[in-house]
Structure formats: structure tokens, C-alpha cells
């Protein structure tokens, strides 16, 4: 038994097993002698010999497990890798801040059943201006430095939309109130400096029904800003302003603190302009086939790029469209960082 427990390896153990339990092994030989014994003797010696056989088998099995374990341990010790070696590539793709912020806007307004509407980038004068109560020679056209296309083969004159408001027009012409939409998209103005890009993104909101008034507009702007900036409260100031397609019109400022070269929202005593808004002008309703005596509503517009800059501290507009991979990775969002109200709009 001692020899079994001390067997140095599998081969020695096998030799011991054959020597003890093999056909000609010592225990087998002992068991064979039982045949020549008297029943009384057998009664005494039988259990004795069988017990010996079982104990030997047990001891061999135990030792075998021990030796296997040791062998496995020894093999594992030789199978070490350098885990600091780089793993196969982990793709580091990213979502552009404009896309992410647009998704945030959609998530917020979806909660109040604003449908996402879209329209073409190339527009007619009628949809971009006239039906929005901006007749030719209107001074407001100077606020929109418009890109025009060369005359089309049929002589038609088209332009790149200067705002997403033509989607309002298209929606009202296609659908009866009640209407609740947001219209995110590309917009274009002939302007290029540190804070202007000839292409940028806007989101337009439009509500038309029989009851929506200025108080509702104020409420949605407040609720939107809290949700978007992910703040429990944020001061807001509405300033009367002018847009040809809304009446009354206003610009929306939110409370901020600019001290220390950084903008923080929801605190401080400064104001930051973030949107234009107003009640849809009755003439616009009329031109879009909606009776202003029965229906009313509001419209608002935010700059998506601007919202992205403000929320995520992106200092400059122009790099948005320059595709510097370093910029895209730094300011971009992970593929699965999906904007959702039930989690958080962003990581």
C-alpha cells in the first residue's frame, strides 16, 4: 500500500497494479488459493482477501487521480501566454454628434407623439419662402442668404432650403390637423466663418390643432430643454422677435454661466439663445390649406449642430463637416449608445 501511494508516475503505478491485481498478481494468486480451502476457512479468508483486493484497487485509483491532477497542473504551467498581447481588433466606429443629437431630439419628442417628417433639400421658392409668408423683396430674405441652382432644363428656379420650415408647408398640404411633427434635416445658407457653415442642420417642430396656444409652446420648450440638457431645472427667457411665418414670434434663451471659459447650463446669470419659435402665422395656415379660424398652433426651430456644440462642449462648428478621424472619434458616440428616455440620452 505504501508503494502505491508513493508510485512516482503512471507507469510505476500500472506495474504495481499488474503486480497486485493482474491475472498473476499477488492478490489474484491469493484469491486463487480460496478454491482449495475448506468452507470454514473460506468463510474467514474470503472477506479478508476480497477486502485486500478492494483496498488495493481503491488506493491505485486514488493515486491515479493524484498523478493525473499533478500532470494536468504541470501541463497548464507550461501553457502560459502573454495576456498583455493585443487582442484581435476591436472595431472603434462612431456615430456623428449630429446623428446622435438628432436621435436624442426624436426620442424626446416621440414621448409626446411628434412624428418625424422629412422633405427635400432642393426646394422651390414657393415652399421655402412664399408659402411661409416671405414674399419676394421681403427684407427677411436678407436674413437667409440663399443658394440658388442654375436654371433647370425646363426653366424652373430652385434653391437649397434655407431652413427646414418647408417641411411644415409640405406636411400641412398633405395632412389634416391635428398635426404634431418634428422635421430634422440639412439646411443651407451662403455663410462661412468661425460660427457659420454653408450647410448645417435644423430641427423644426410644428403643432396644429384647435387648441394649442403660446402657453403650450412655452411648456414644450421648457420641458425639451430640461430633457435635452438632462437637468432637473433650467431658467428660460422668451424674447419677442420676428419671423415672417410666426406671429407672435420669439427667440428662446436659456440660463447659463460663462465664467471660467466654459458654458454650464441651468446655473449662472447669462443667457444663451437656442431657438426661434412662435404661433404659426394665420397667413401661413391659410396658404397651406388650413383654416386659421378653426386651427392654430406653434412652430419652433433649433440648430442641431448648435445643440450638439452646447451640450457636448464642442468648440467649433466647421470641423463637424471636415471628417478628421481624430475629431470624429473624440466627439462621436459609440454604436450602441442609443439615445433613449428610459435609460439616458447619452453616456
Partner 1 sequence: MKFSVSWLKEHLDTAAGAAAIADAATNIGLEVESIDDKAAKLAAFTVARVVSAEPHPNADRLRVCRVDTGKEVVQVVCGAPNARAGLTGVFAPPGTWIPGSDFALKIATIRGVESRGMLCSERELQLSEEHDGIIELGGDFAPGMPAATALGLNDAVIDVAVTPNRGDCTSVHGVARDLAAANLGVLKLRPPSSTPGKFESPVRASLDFPSGKENACPLFAGRVVRGLRNGPSPQWLQERLKSAGLRPISALVDVTNYVSHGWGRPLHAFDAAKLQGHMRARFARQGETILALDGKEYALDPEMTVIADDAAPRSIGGVMGGDDSGCTEATTEIFLESALFDPVRTARTGRMLGIVSDARYRFERGVDPEFVIPGLELATQLILEICGGEASALAVAGRVPEWRRHIRFDPAEVNRLGGFHLADTEIAAILKRLGFELRDSGPFEVIPPSWRADVHDKADLVEEVVRIHGLGKVPATPMSRPYAIARPVTTEPQRGASLARRALAARGFAEAVHYSFIPRAHAAMFGGGDDGRQLENPISADLDSLRPSLMPSLLAAASRNQARGLAHVRLFELGVQFESGIPGAQSQVAAGIRAGEPPRHWRRAVVQPDAFAAKADALAALDAVWTGASSVPVKTGAAPWYHPGRSGTIATGPKPLAWFGELHPRMSAAFDLKGPVSLFEIFLDAIPAAKARSSKSRPKLEASDLMPLTRDFAFVVDGKVTADQVVKAARSADRKLIEAVELFDVYQGSGVAEGKKSLAIAVTIQPRERTLTEAEIEAIAQKIVSTVAKATGGVLRS
Min dist CB 265 to partner 1, Å, is: 18
Interface with partner 1 includes 37 (CB under 8 A)?
no
Interface with partner 1 includes 98 (CB under 8 A)?
yes
Interface with partner 1 includes 84 (CB under 8 A)?
no
What stretch of H or E contains 3? helix 2-6
Q: Which of 305, 270, 294, 261 is nearest to 105 (CA)?
A: 305
Min dist CB 314 to partner 1, Å, is: 13
Min dist CB 307 to partner 1, Å, is: 15
The piece of 5-13, 22-30, 51-59, 80-88 that touches partner 1 (CB under 8 A) is 80-88
Could you say which residues in the range 170-189 bind partner 1, by CB under 8 A? 178, 180, 186, 188
| Residue whose CB is less far from partner 1, 67 or 116 | 116
Which sign, positive or negative, has the C-alpha torsion 66, 71, 74, 75? negative
Spatial distance between the Cα atoms of 114 and 111, rounded to a whole number of angstroms: 8
Interface with partner 1 includes 231 (CB under 8 A)?
no
What stretch of H or E contains 280? strand 270-280
The piece of 9-17, 22-30, 63-71, 232-240 that touches partner 1 (CB under 8 A) is 232-240
Site string for partner 1, 104-143 (x = CB under 8 A): --x--xxxxxxxx-x-xxxxx--x---------xxxx-xx
Among 13, 101, 160, 274, contact with partner 1 (rule: CB under 8 A): 160
| Residue whose CB is less far from partner 1, 42 or 283 | 283
First-residue to last-residue Cα distance in the chain: 66
Q: Which of 174, 172, 192 is nearest to 282 (CA)?
A: 172
3-state secondary structure of 208: strand
| Residue whose CB is less far from partner 1, 165 or 249 | 249
Size of residue set near partner 1 by CB under 8 A: 94
Spatial distance between the Cα atoms of 259 and 162, rounded to a whole number of angstroms: 34
**Is the peptide bond between 214 and the residue preceding it cis, with omega within 30 degrees of 0?**
no
Min dist CB 262 to partner 1, Å, is: 20
Min dist CB 81 to partner 1, Å, is: 11
Interface with partner 1 includes 272 (CB under 8 A)?
no
Interface with partner 1 includes 194 (CB under 8 A)?
no
Among 55, 65, 239, 269, contact with partner 1 (rule: CB under 8 A): 239
Q: Which of 126, 144, 158, 137 is nearest to 288 (CA)?
A: 126
Please compute, for residue 3, the number of CA atoms within 13 A of its CA located in the half-sphere on the CB side: 10
The piece of 26-34, 36-44, 57-65, 276-284 that touches partner 1 (CB under 8 A) is 276-284
Q: Which of 228, 276, 227 is nearest to 251 (CA)?
A: 276
Q: Around Cβ 226, how many Cβ atoms within 10 Å?
A: 18
Amino acid at each position: 500500500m505504501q508503494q502505491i501511494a508513493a508510485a512516482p508516475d503512471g507507469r510505476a503505478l500500472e506495474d504495481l497494479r499488474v503486480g497486485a491485481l493482474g491475472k498473476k498478481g499477488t492478490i489474484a494468486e491469493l484469491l486463487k488459493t480460496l478454491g482449495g480451502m475448506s468452507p470454514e476457512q473460506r468463510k474467514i479468508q474470503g472477506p479478508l482477501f476480497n477486502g485486500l483486493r478492494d483496498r488495493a484497487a481503491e488506493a491505485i485509483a486514488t493515486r491515479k487521480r493524484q498523478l493525473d491532477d499533478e500532470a494536468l497542473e504541470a501541463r497548464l504551467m507550461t501553457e502560459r501566454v502573454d495576456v498583455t498581447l493585443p487582442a484581435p481588433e476591436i472595431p472603434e466606429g462612431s456615430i456623428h454628434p449630429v446623428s446622435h443629437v438628432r436621435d436624442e431630439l426624436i426620442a424626446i419628442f416621440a414621448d409626446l407623439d411628434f412624428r418625424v417628417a422629412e422633405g427635400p433639400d432642393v426646394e422651390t421658392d414657393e415652399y421655402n419662402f412664399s408659402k411661409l409668408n416671405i414674399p419676394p423683396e421681403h427684407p427677411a430674405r436678407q436674413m437667409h442668404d440663399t443658394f440658388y441652382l442654375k436654371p433647370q432644363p425646363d426653366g424652373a428656379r430652385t434653391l437649397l432650403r434655407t431652413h427646414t420650415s418647408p417641411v411644415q408647408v409640405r406636411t400641412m398640404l398633405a395632412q389634416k390637423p391635428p398635426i404634431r411633427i418634428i422635421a430634422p434635416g440639412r439646411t443651407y445658407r451662403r455663410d462661412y466663418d468661425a460660427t457659420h457653415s454653408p450647410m448645417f442642420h435644423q430641427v423644426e417642430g410644428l403643432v396644429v390643432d384647435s387648441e394649442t396656444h403660446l402657453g403650450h409652446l412655452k411648456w414644450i420648450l421648457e420641458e425639451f430643454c430640461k430633457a435635452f440638457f438632462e437637468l432637473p431645472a433650467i431658467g428660460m427667457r422668451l424674447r419677442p422677435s420676428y419671423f415672417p411665418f410666426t406671429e407672435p414670434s420669439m427667440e428662446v434663451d436659456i440660463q447659463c454661466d460663462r465664467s471660467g471659459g466654459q458654458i454650464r447650463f441651468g446655473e449662472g446669470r447669462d443667457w444663451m439663445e437656442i431657438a426661434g419659435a412662435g404661433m404659426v402665422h394665420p397667413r401661413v395656415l391659410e396658404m397651406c390649406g388650413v383654416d386659421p379660424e378653426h386651427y392654430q398652433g406653434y412652430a419652433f426651430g433649433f440648430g442641431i449642430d448648435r445643440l450638439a456644440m452646447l451640450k457636448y462642449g464642442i468648440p467649433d462648428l466647421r470641423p463637424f463637416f471636415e471628417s478628421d478621424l481624430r475629431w470624429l472619434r473624440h466627439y462621436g458616440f459609440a454604436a450602441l449608445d442609443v439615445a433613449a428616455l428610459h435609460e439616458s440620452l447619452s453616456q
